[in-house]
Structure 1
Amino acid sequence: MSDTMTVKEAARLWNLTERRVVGLCREGKITGAKKQGRSWQIPATAKKPLDQRIKSGAYKKQAERLPLPIGISDYRLASSQYYYIDKTMMIKDFIDERPQVSLFTRPRRFGKTLNMDMLRTFFERSEEDTSIYFKDKKIWSCGERYREYQGKYPVIFITFKDIKFDSWEMSFEAIRNIFAKEAIRHSELRNSDKCDEIDKKAYERLLSGQANEIELSNALLDLSRMLHKHYDIAPIIIIDEYDIPIQQGYMKHYYDKIILFMRNLFSGGLKDNRHVSYGFLTGILRVAKESIFSGLNNLTIHSVLDNKYSSYFGFTCDEVKEMAEYYGVANKYDELCAWYDGYRFGKTEIFNPWSVINYFHNECEPRAFWQSTGSNDIISEIIAQADNEIYDRLTSLVNGKSFTTYIDTGVIYPQIKSNPSTIYSFLLVAGYLKVLKTTPSFNGDYMCEVALPNKEIAFVYHKEILQQLNQIISPSIAVAIQEAIFSGNHAKLKDLIQGLLMQSVSYYDSVGENFYHGFMLGLCALLSGFFVSSNRESGNGRYDIQLKPKNKKLPGILIELKAEKHGTEESLKKLSQKALQQIIDGCYDVEMFAEGVEMIYRYGVAFSGKKVEVMADSVSSKETIRLSKSDYRSF
């Protein structure tokens, strides 16, 4: 037996992240740890450093702290009244390079709208002195060269984030209303003596909300021309979430119409338009191949694989550490890493900002906050085209595996049906995958090693992706399994899971405990009326899955999972009994009882390939004597 263990082995033994183990080695908190070359060697007898993290229920909000900016995309409000992570150096980087038109593609809820509003607030001419929102920010200390850009330009700001309608007619009406509101925002044009009658007629058509399709497709060109005349300086055009209407058009079968309109709109507003100083666009997909930006040779694209601007969307490691310290929970950093870290934009490690903020707001109880932030109809469309090879690859991710695949950051919606392998490109740019290694391809795209980013995405992955593979897990079977868990019908639970595994393909023969953990977690995630959590401390250890009822009169549920290869019926019964005993010995039910739950079902579940065994019992808050091993019921 080796006298030492690796960082990876220690992390698995102590249930920590590898990064945390390395940090503990560097801090001298692991006795006898020595660095050999580029690796740490840890004595096999070393003890896990004492866990001094705040236990559940001990987190306290402090009244003097700034509130958390949940759902705040208004820069003035966010930067002055809430905890704001300073991203204003993005302005410096832009001024240093000054590309004429910039497109930033990032997953949803990674700060695109807030950053675009920051750019608007900085550059836009206004009767209000908006410099007050930047004087305490990093950009202001960069010098007069950068300050002179502040408040210099008229700005056209358009967001398409709410264009999610079932028909082209409804979408067109909504877009027309958006431009009418933007025309109102520039009411100075109505009586401008620098604009001629043709200009004012076009303005009135926009303002009244009566512009036809041709007139509306010229809206960016018309507004930019009038603002240029009025202020004697060409405006900045900012378009947020430009591809939302395109995705909706694809899903609701008016794709060709929305593409034609967007092509004309952007061509007039951004292509060879001498009336625009700079343009900014955001979206999830690049969709350059749609010819929306046809001939737009002044477009600079910044995708999730590019280094420039990589730290400005999402939170960096240092930013999350500082935020955790500010809210008095610096010792929660490891948990934050496990759940919400793992993205890599360019060469920058990034946390999901939406989930980090909600984690602090939720008293540091980790959940999959990101899963409910947008429509995922497009995922269903993608999965519907998956073949067996794609399915095998997708399911392998849950077991902690990675694979190398071709990534096209310009993937377009019609390719989904014609080339299902584009699923990986879409899942990457949409935030469901992370890049471990990137190798440029011969045609300007990439070969990337991809994996799941973190625990949150593993959770979301089951609910939004694997659960949509109805040929394997039908909705009726999923519901029946949930009902069996909820009702304590242990025999039915075993039969349903067994039947599900028997119907599935052969990859189940070789997966490990991580897969089954994710599989059960995905099923539990669909169970309404419960707070679902995983790998959390309670009692004397960490449970696998806990379902805490929102109504304390309902039963709570604890599930401990085990897996082994080539298991027999007898060995699986023993293994499931061991899993149940772990719940009992670890007193995992202490937390729920302390919070007033009156009854708890406890499940020990053991898997081997397509076989499963379940041991279960129940305990009430009134009981003082726990069941002994001889009282367990096997099903």
Structure 2
Amino acid sequence: MKSSEQFAIEWNRSKRAINDLCNKGKIPGAIKEGRKWLIPDDAVRPVDKRVSSGKYAKKKAANNKSLPIGISDYVRAQADYYYVDKTLLIKEFLDQKPLVSLFTRPRRFGKTLNMDMLRVFFEISEEDTSKYFENKAIWRCGEEYRRQQGQYPVVFLTFKDVKFDSWKATLDKIKDLLQEEFGRHQEIADSDRLAEYEKTYFAKIINGEASEVDLTVSLAKLSQMLTKHYGKAPIIIIDEYDTPIQEGYSKDFYDEIIGFMRNFFSEAFKDNKNLTYGFLTGILRIAQESIFSGLNNLTVNSVMDEKYDQFFGFTASEVRDMLEYYGALDKEAELKDWYDGYLFGSTEIYNPWSVINYISKGCIPQAYWVNTGKNEILEDVLKVATDDITERLYSLLQGERVIAQIDQNVVYRSLSEDPANIYSLLLVAGYLKTPKKELQADGSYLCEVSIPNREIAAVYKSEILSHLLQIGAITRTTANKIAESLYANDYKKLQKAIAEYMDKSISFYDAGAEGFYHGLVLGLIALMDNQYKIKSNRESGDGRYDISLFPREGRYPGIIMELKWKKDLSADELSGLADEALIQIDEKRYDAEMKEDGIQDILKFGIAFSGKKVSVKTK
């Protein structure tokens, strides 16, 4: 549950308006404790009259298909829901014919649905599954593609839900998935083409009696048995292969999962003569742990590559068609602002999960993608962020571009070895885009990176605040007090708000040097980035100011802050240090940059810290 103050910030409404909606019963699940309203974390912003009476609401009543929120079953998605036709992925693949393909894309960009589409297309079935493709783009490509349909045994595993706290639980889940997949191929259990020892192994998997060693060779064994039974080598599809690896990194069983996966994949894809094609999807290309060691037949298709760039996520034309279908073309600019901005290869891509949620929920812009679960990757990144990286993350929040080296072979463990790998991880995970890139001799890219859209900016703000402030209700309230005091030039209120936060949220031993306080103040004012461009440690006049807030609109004043820190100061000494900081702003002409931008109304704050004590002076 969250407070009404927190939802007021997230929904860009006043606290009074949120409380009024709660009083009127328009926010399901909201409860009142004392004088405060508490609202469920997954509450959806109520549709206002402007939206609910618009074209979308009228069109939706005309028996349009629903949008496939959370549907990864291809047969069901294309039959019962609005389906964006991605079947030309099949043509692209059959034209290229790579033996083993790895597709790396952010989560919820259609990987599982596309892999299930491949399964239905290629898999031998008693049912005539061609009917699921006869009205799709692939069927219009000619007989050479149509005759591939329904011709191969297929092994399909998705690891997207393998998220457990221990190696034992993870292995048990993998055992269950293999048991279920072997069960899908029950027809080979009594095949007269299989030897008795193969049938014994098959029964061991089916009965849940397999050891860890048995499981590591299971894909290779199953492919061998399917080849014997059908006289044709199978296609193996592994969806979200790196989900359990990410869990292993976060939950301290990384070595165990890496060791298992190395053998598991090597047996299936390396020198396996019982393989027609292999497909894998994931977020990362994990090469440095040698999971794909020696797999020289692996073709990697990442967010940086041109091939297959339009098949994961929605293109601009696909989004426009969808908006037209639902009578919401007037929302195109808003939807673009919130959910566009990704670049896969050279193609501009929209986040599909967010687009379908946005349209299905009355065209209300929210951070749908980032609310699908914990953002473990961003949490891991922030744990190892240096001061320089933290400052660059703030620059990104201001809409600026940052120069970064992007290594596509980045792995989770490499974060602790070199925090600069943060940008590579954020890119492949969907938190950055590359407006400009240059391939280097060593295979890495030198890139300009930036935040893709407003949705991702929202999660940066939330996660960075959580990281820097260990945020809770008190810190949200404090951040709002700081914003109010800056607007009002009320230095006493500002001093009280900072002191309140420091007293209730920070251990004395956390307070160390000026850099610590610099990050603290940046975090506390981060909520103001809709009104201000926040800059820090920039040259202006005759020196480098600490923090400056450049107004986005003329009605707001410019704000300059100079921070000072010393140990063990008395109250008078602390006050004098704040005066020194204030004098330095004028002596060093830190307001020169603002004046060049035509900003004349400028507030100046000298802020001094000593342990948990703070003194603020202004002019």
TM-score range, shorter chain: 0.7 to 0.9
Aligned with 1:516 (options 514, 517, 528) = 528
Query: What is the match of residue 146 of structure 2?
Result: 147
Counterpart position of 2:396: 397
In the TM superposition, what whole-angstrom CA distance separates every residue of 1:522-545 from its partner, at most 9, and x where no partner exists?
A: xxxxxxxxxxxxxxxxxxxxxx9x
- Whether the aligned pair in 2 keeps the contact of 1:477 and 1:496 (CA below 8 Å) is no
Match for 1:58: what amino acid? S
Query: Paired residue for 1:57, among 33, 52, 55?
Result: 52
Q: CA deviation at 1:76?
A: 0.4
What residue in structure 2 maps to residue 268 of structure 1? 267
- The equivalent residue for 2:573 is none
Number of aligned residue pairs: 484
Task: Give the letter aligned to residue 64 of structure 1.
Answer: N
* Matching of residue 174 in structure 1 with residue 173 in structure 2: yes
> Share of identical aligned residues, percent?
48
Q: What are the within-5 Å matches in structure 2 for residues 182-331 of structure 1?
A: 182-331=181-330
> Offset at 1:289?
1.4
So what's the TM-score if we normalise by structure 1? 0.71
1:76 corresponds to 2:75: yes
State TM-score, norm by structure 2.
0.73
Q: Give per-residue Cα distances to partners, 1:591-619, cap 9 Å, x unaligned.
A: xxxxxxxxxxxxxxx9967699xxxxxxx
CA distance change for structure 1 residues 266 and 564 in 2, over 3 Å: closer, same or farther? same
Q: Counterpart in 2 of 1:377?
A: 376
Partner deviation per Cα, 1:252-301 (whole Å, 9 max, x = no partner): 11111110100000000010000010000000000111100000000000
Aligned partner of residue 449 in structure 1, secondary structure: strand
**1:478 partnered with 2:478:** no
| Matched AA of 1:356 | V
CA contact (8 A) 2:478 2:498 kept: no
Secondary structure of residue in 2 paired with 1:344:
strand
Structure 1 residue aligned with 2:131: 132
State the match for 2:32 in structure 1: none
Aligned residue for 2:51, secondary structure, equals coil
Secondary structure, in 3 states, of the residue corresponding to 1:239? strand
- 8 Å contact 1:398–1:515 — kept in the other structure? no
Deviations 1:467-520 (A, max 9, x none): 2333x56547524437979x99x9998556656799966589999x99723599
1:408–1:343 distance in 2 versus 1, CA, 3 Å:
same
The SS at the match of 1:104 is strand
The amino acid of 2:478's aligned partner reads I
| DSSP 3-state at the match of 1:294 | coil
- Say if 1:314 and 1:186 are closer, same or farther in 2 by CA, change over 3 A: same
How far has the Cα of 1:373 moved from its partner? 1.6
Distance 1:123 1:380, change over 3 A: same
Q: CA 1:398/1:200 → structure 2, altered by over 3 Å: closer, same or farther?
A: same
Change (3 A) 1:507 1:162: closer
Deviation at 1:313, TM superposition (A): 0.4
The 1:219/1:567 distance shift into structure 2, 3 A limit, reads closer
Query: How much does 1:384 deviate?
Result: 1.4
Q: Deviations over 1:113-155 (max 9, x none)?
A: 0000000010001111111110000000000000011000000
Structure 2 residue matching 1:289: 3-state secondary structure: coil
Q: 1:468: which partner in 2? A: 466
Q: Equivalents in 2 of 1:519, 1:174: separation in Å?
A: 48
Is the contact made by 1:398 and 1:518 (CA closer than 8 Å) also made in structure 2?
no
Query: 2: distance between equivalents of 1:479 and 1:510?
Result: 14
Give the equivalent residue in structure 1 for 2:88. Answer: 89
Q: What CA deviation, in whole Å up to 9, does each residue of 1:220-248 have, x standing for no partner? A: 00100000000000000000000011111
Q: Tell me which amino acid in the other structure corresponds to 1:98.
A: K
- Unpaired stretches in structure 1, ≥5 consecutive residues: 1-53, 522-543, 545-559, 569-605, 613-635
State the secondary structure of the residue aligned to 2:229.
helix
Q: What is the CA distance between 1:324 and its match in structure 2?
A: 0.4
Q: 1:377 to 1:283 in 2, by over 3 A?
A: same
Q: Is the 8 A contact 2:159 2:244 kept in 1?
A: yes
> CA shift at 1:201, angstroms?
1.2
CA distance, structure 1, for counterparts of residue 142 and residue 390 of structure 2: 54
Question: What amino acid is the match of 1:192?
Answer: S
CA distance in 1, matches of 2:526, 2:328: 28
CA displacement at 1:404 relative to structure 2:
1.1
Contact 1:380 1:468 in 2 (8 A): no
- Superimposed CA distance per residue, residues 22-70 of structure 1 (whole angstroms, 9 cap, x where no aligned partner): xxxxxxxxxxxxxxxxxxxxxxxxxxxxxxxx94332312332111111
> What CA distance in whole angstroms lies between the structure 2 residues aligned with 1:206 and 1:520?
60
Query: Offset at 1:462?
Result: 1.3
Partner Cα distance (1:209, 1:458) in 2: 46
Tell me if structure 2 keeps the 8 A contact 1:399–1:515: no
In structure 1, what is the Cα distance between the partners aligned to 2:221 and 2:561?
72
1:399/1:514 contact within 8 Å kept:
no
Change in CA separation of 1:217 and 1:477 when aligned onto 2, cut-off 3 Å: same
Separation of aligned partners in 1, 2:465 and 2:521: 20
SS at match of 2:197: helix
> Could you say what secondary structure the match of 2:461 adopts?
helix
Cα distance in 1 for partners of 2:434, 2:222 equals 41
Indicate conservation of the 8 Å contact 1:305/1:345, yes or no: yes
Structure 1 distance, partners of 2:497, 2:91, is 56
1:436 corresponds to: 435
Give the whole-Å Cα distance in 1 for the aligned partners of 2:413 and 2:435: 27
Pairs within 5 Å for 1:552-571: 562-566=556-560
Structure-2 change in CA distance of 1:239 and 1:346 (3 Å):
same
Identify the residue that residue 415 of structure 1 maps to in structure 2.
414
Q: What RMSD over aligned residues (CA atoms) do the two structures have, in Å?
A: 3.3
The answer (yes or no) to whether the contact 2:560–2:605 under 8 Å persists in 1 is no
- Letter paired with 2:528: Y
